[in-house]
Structure 1
Amino acid sequence: MQLQEKSFEWVPGLAEPYAITWCAVEYFEITGTILRMLLQRLSPDTPHLGRTLLHHAILCGNAAAVNVLLSSGANVEASVKTQKTEFRPIHMAARLGSSETLQCLIDSGCDINSMTDSGDTALMICAKYKQEECLRTLAMAGADFGLVNTAGQSATSFAGSNQWSLGFQQVIVEVIRAGKIPESSSASVFSPLIFVAQAGDIEALKALIKWGEVDIDYQDDSGFSAVMFAALNGNVEVFRLLVYAGADVKLRNKAGETAITLSGLNQNHDLFEKVMLEFALQMGNRDDGGFYALHCAARRGDIDAVKLLMSRGYDVNVPDGDGYTPLMLAAREGHRVHVRAPDLARGSM
């Protein structure tokens, strides 16, 4: 058979003639034999109206044809250029939600963080068009969540503006649970730790802490750390995990608030207080950033905790932020039987 690139056939529904190789992509048969035979004589990168065979295969949603073209030397970074836009195969696959095709492109070494003319990455495009499987594929492949486009938008902000925050969050949490930590070149744009703390997912948070390369005290542009978000959102278990992992509760955000003061704003502030008291009792922590362990134990009438803390040298005469001593708090709460005023005053039980 004589192969001539200038031999055209009409492709139904597209209102423009294509070369024979394009027909082989359009009507790709399962073995790919015909397309491979044609590609022995013809270049896969010969353009037609600004596109190549690779672009055509992606538009046809045919991952098998994409794989044949890439294995035959098609340029994985071939751009589509129009008067208004410029984009690459990876952007097309992300926009169309073709996760299998996307994986073929990634396996062939494409630039996973390449940008369109407007600075959008494939990751941003997935978030913009709610392409869940493609988002998962890109996250597992190490796409950068810390990039922004020319308008300052990121993948996370795209998800938020398109009312897809929950779906976006679910994918990222699942990726982290699977042992893959999302890449981010800018923590101020995307911090895995802050993201997971706000999501309130314990298993994902454990995976991050176990990873060991995360700054547990990272503060965002407003000065909020992960433990502050846990306190603000009323998530006691996330708060507990972060505190025991060594999160600094003394840190202040730009409004001067700490995790302790933020936890006091919640209806379940007693539970946060209990976490801090347990932590002080177990770890012997004395420098607890606004949390007064002995005062807390006295006010709660926890005589065993009072005894233990006093044995560790906690000063019974130190006033808390409101000017109360442990003795005053015990008396105010009516713990006359369980906490005796003379004992507190002497500093022993």
Structure 2
Amino acid sequence: MLQDQFSRRFSYLRLSLTESCNFRCSYCLPNGNECHTRSNELTLPEIKRLVTAFAMAGTRKIRLTGGEPSLRRDLCEIISICKEVPGIETVAMTTNGYRLKRDISSWLDAGLDALNVSVDSLDPATFELITGQDKLAEILEGIELATELGIKKLKLNTVLLRQHNSGALPDFMDFVKHRAVTLRFIELMQTGDNNAFFARQHLSGDQIKQQLLAAGWLQAVKDKDAGPAQEFYHSSHQGGIGLIMPYSKDFCADCNRLRVSSLGELYLCLFTEQHRSLRHLLQQDQPLKVQQFLQQSLQFKSSSHQLSEQKTGATRHLAMIGG
């Protein structure tokens, strides 16, 4: 299995399918899509070779991200390709939900196991203010449909924004009371182009954590292969609530994921200063060379990001690599 110099093992690949997005989220692409051409996105054969090499190196979970991955017309083929690779146990996707209601059945038929949907507010006006889209009702209908169709894992992602949803915790708790879904609050992260916005809107997830504990929620014990979220549960709620707090102590200590962009560039960290292209290795079936490239690259992976020192690396905005 892929391992770095800090004995962290990497069994999880986040694969961006496109930098293009049709939302204008205030914390990511407030001025709209910055992807001017999609002609260089990874092809189906390249994706199959990439995922195969990662699987041979111990990767067990693939998450398809963007931009917005559902903008790829060949998305179902990509899901099927990933699902059919020996060793891949889970194919997940993160989406803004724009096409969820229409396409969830096709995604499930293609082999999708898990889905994260971005829902930054349960209030329609606030949702439109944050995302630039009046689509909340349709997205919530898509979430209900995904549940009815029996998706294995469903999570909602909410970026914490001081001026927009910091007081909405009671509404979110009510939402998961009778729904077997997990809602995760994600601390706003500073990127290369959002310094002023970050200063206005950043809210520590610890404030939400204290509110949860005060309301009788209990923190769950992490599984050894779990991601960075702190998970909470309540005896009277079917669903759970999680917190992703990248500014917390030792956040990177159990990192288990690597990222590849839609252009075939390896990111050792979401906030790395450098990235390395491996696309030239995907032109032929040579998985051993890809594995060697990955293992050699991991020797340059840092023990932690440097967000606390306001060093955001080369990531201008999260649509570049999917968060």
Coarse TM-score class (shorter-chain normalised): under 0.3
The structure where strand makes up a greater share of residues is 2
Q: TM-score, normalised by structure 2?
A: 0.26
Higher relative CO (Cα under 8 Å, sequence separation at least 6) belongs to: 2
**Could you state the TM-score of these two structures normalised by the residue count of structure 1?**
0.24
Name the structure where helix makes up a greater proportion of residues: 1
